[in-house]
Structure 1
Amino acid sequence: MPLRIGVLDGDGIGPEIVPVAVDIATAAATHADLDVEWVPLAMGRSAIDTLGDPLPPATLDALDDLDCWILGPHDSAGYPDQFRGQLTPGAVIRKRYGLYSNLRPARVYPGVPSVSGAIDLLIVRENSEGLYADRNMAVGSGEFMPTPDVALAVGVITRAASERIARVAFEQARRRKKHVTVVHKANVLTMTTGLFRAACYDVAGDYPDVTVDEEHVDAMAALLVRRAGDFDVLVTENLFGDILSDLAAELAGSLGLAASINTSDCKAMAQAAHGAAPDIAGRDCANPVALIESTAMLFDWWAQQFDDDRGRDLAATIRAALTATLDAGEMTPDLGGSTGTAEFGRLIRTRIGAR
């Protein structure tokens, strides 16, 4: 049976970068002797225009039968009025499948100009609660206004979710440099992020081979700028992880490098951390690196889930060709190059073929 992977192009630059990532993965799959079936699914503005819904029921029904998929960016701010204020397609998918773990790597690629020359870290972000209004209420939004001049937000931290994401972080660290840094703000948010910190340290007891330390989130931001190379795995709650991962990506060279994978215990979704960038859509200048790396992460997850080295080989093939292309100075305009999106993908596929 082939490995079946859903493909949702999305909005803005999505229809440009998602096919590039799929084509590269298809070429790498040939080398790994892995049969992959790509399942195209409707999502975003094109789905509204053709089916009247940014995330049609048929798409969700199809995802129910798939272990993993690639999600392009969505531009919900550009949807017709009746769809604004609703959960975004990505949020609906995260909630439906309980994608509680968001892994966001940041590393400097050879040949890519960067602010910091020594970044190779992984931010493990709790993805299901915190201060995000779409994730922490059984009914209604976590933001509300008792009067027109007062706005309140509910932040939720639970021991169960904190321990769950901590285990993900420590397992990831065991495959890296065996160092976890717990990022919190327990000096001010004593009960909420204090609970998060305590839960992480409780889990640390099960991983005596992994070094664990901690930083306040504001200090962590400063330390990333000063000495990001000293860190390995950062584990933190939702909002802090969102902010720190964007900072780390820019320090590594560009938000266009910001890969991401969202996982539960049995489902995974590759999704670049950046948005749909509608201002450059259709101009063949978007950077597909983040989604290419996100796709490699998807195959790493699958390989680990099913103990299949073909997935690891496929991911390694993608990364080797991507790194060689960037190191040769062939990169998109946001990185200082002049290579178009489609040509960038072709150059990577050519290198895979040469292998």
Structure 2
Amino acid sequence: MRTVTLIPGDGIGPEISQSVVKIFEAAKVPIKFEIVEAGAKVMDQENTPLPQGVLDSIQKNKVALKGPITTPIGSGFRSVNVALRQYFDLYANVRPVKSIKGVPSRYEEVDLIIVRENTEDLYAGIEHKIGEVAAESIKVITKKASDRIAKYAFTLANQQQREKVTAVHKANIMKLSDGLFLDCVRDIREQYPDIEYDEQIVDAMCMNLVLHPESSDVLVMGNLYGDILSDLCAGFVGGLGLIPGANIGEEIAIFEAVHGSAPSIAGCNQANPTALIQSAIMMLRHLNLLNEANRIEAALYAVYEQGHDLTKDLGGTATTTQFTDALIAKLLNNR
């Protein structure tokens, strides 16, 4: 039995986390969850949104599943998500984006992976005010971080039998920072001669994604571009409520729903748990629990293909509980 840290999070986080727990129990997944709390809900008691007990649990268990955590805009505490990535050096943010049959969408046959460098760029948080008239943020790109994210992207492409890796950049303008990133990716590319490689400027990449998202495969890029493009791509297949995410380091991995905490519907039993379910499936594959991952994924896809138990965000009337129960029914019928 493997112990995994579970951080339910804020808003709808506890509801969708409970959905995953119920599904794992029904599938008899050999995992025990150690539940710890982080985010806005613990701020008053702990005077921090990220208590030391959370960090200790993740350090001990090496793998965590995390629900959405509220990040105040412009004020308040710093993003817990960014803090976790930097504390554990979770250098690779991985967002698979895949069409699900039965989900209304403008596109079909989308199947791409965004690999985003997760520790530096403008998200390093190095910024300051210049008097009362300006503010300055510093973009940091290093060879170490660029080499390892490139290595991760090509290794992932090789493992998943993908055909192409595309480096996304703005080196035509930021010739030193993005230029260094590109140089690193090109160097690493030489170790993978069987994988097709190309480069696209980030604005052209956005246009090409909107025109033909099905033509993209593995995209590797810096932190800011990855944040923007991963949300853009989520829109191709139904939105952030469906997309899984992973933050991967050398020893520790945190899998998370990438959408917000949706406080307006918290406690209403209306949330779509799919993003966290898909993140949990990624986690199972990371732990080499392939049979359990495949069974849960097949049941999830079967619910969508049947189309009777969709949640409100996708035009249905099912509650979180009803969606979860429908998935469990598919799971048990296909044992």
Q: Same fold (TM over 0.5)?
A: yes
Name the structure 2 match of 1:307. none
Name the structure 1 match of 2:143. 159
Structure 1 CA distance, aligned partners of 2:147 and 2:47? 40
Please give the root-mean-square deviation of Cα atoms over the aligned residues, in Å.
1.6
Could you tell me whether the CA contact under 8 Å between 1:116 and 1:225 is conserved in 2?
no
Name the structure 1 match of 2:283. 298
SS at match of 1:122: strand
5+ residue gaps in structure 1? 136-140, 304-310
Name the structure 2 match of 1:92. 83
Could you tell me whether the CA contact under 8 Å between 1:246 and 1:258 is conserved in 2?
no
Which residue type is aligned with residue 48 of structure 2?
A: D
Structure 2 CA distance, aligned partners of 1:111 and 1:62? 38
Question: How many pairs were matched up?
Answer: 332
Q: Does 1:332 align with 2:327?
A: no
Structure 2 CA distance, aligned partners of 1:85 and 1:154? 21
Name the structure 2 match of 1:37. 32
Name the structure 2 match of 1:198. 183
Alpha-carbon offset, residue 281 of structure 1: 1.4
Alpha-carbon offset, residue 49 of structure 1: 4.5
Could you tell me whether the CA contact under 8 Å between 1:183 and 1:220 is conserved in 2?
yes
Name the structure 2 match of 1:351. 330
Structure 2 CA distance, aligned partners of 1:118 and 1:146? 48
The 10-residue stretch of structure 1 (88-97 or 316-325) with the greater mean CA deviation from structure 2: 88-97
Structure 2 CA distance, aligned partners of 1:59 and 1:255? 25
Which residue type is aligned with residue 11 of structure 1?
A: D
SS at match of 2:287: helix
Name the structure 2 match of 1:63. 58
Normalised TM-score (structure 2):
0.95
SS at match of 1:251: coil
Alpha-carbon offset, residue 51 of structure 1: 4.1
Alignment of 1:1-355 (within 5 A): 2-28=1-27, 30=28, 34-77=29-72, 85-132=76-123, 135=124, 141-174=125-158, 175-303=160-288, 311-329=289-307, 330-355=309-334
Which residue type is aligned with residue 222 of structure 1?
A: M
Alpha-carbon offset, residue 27 of structure 1: 2.6
The 10-residue stretch of structure 1 (196-205 or 69-78) with the greater mean CA deviation from structure 2: 69-78
Alpha-carbon offset, residue 54 of structure 1: 2.1
Cα deviation digits, residues 179-203 of structure 1 (max 9, x gap): 1011111111111111111111110
Alpha-carbon offset, residue 86 of structure 1: 3.3
Q: Identity over the aligned pairs, expressed in percent? A: 38
Could you tell me whether the CA contact under 8 Å between 1:25 and 1:295 is conserved in 2?
no
Name the structure 2 match of 1:308. none
Normalised TM-score (structure 1):
0.90
Structure 1 CA distance, aligned partners of 2:215 and 2:72? 38
Structure 2 CA distance, aligned partners of 1:49 and 1:274? 24
SS at match of 2:116: strand
The 10-residue stretch of structure 1 (278-287 or 231-240) with the greater mean CA deviation from structure 2: 278-287
5+ residue gaps in structure 2? none
Alpha-carbon offset, residue 45 of structure 1: 3.0
Alpha-carbon offset, residue 228 of structure 1: 0.7
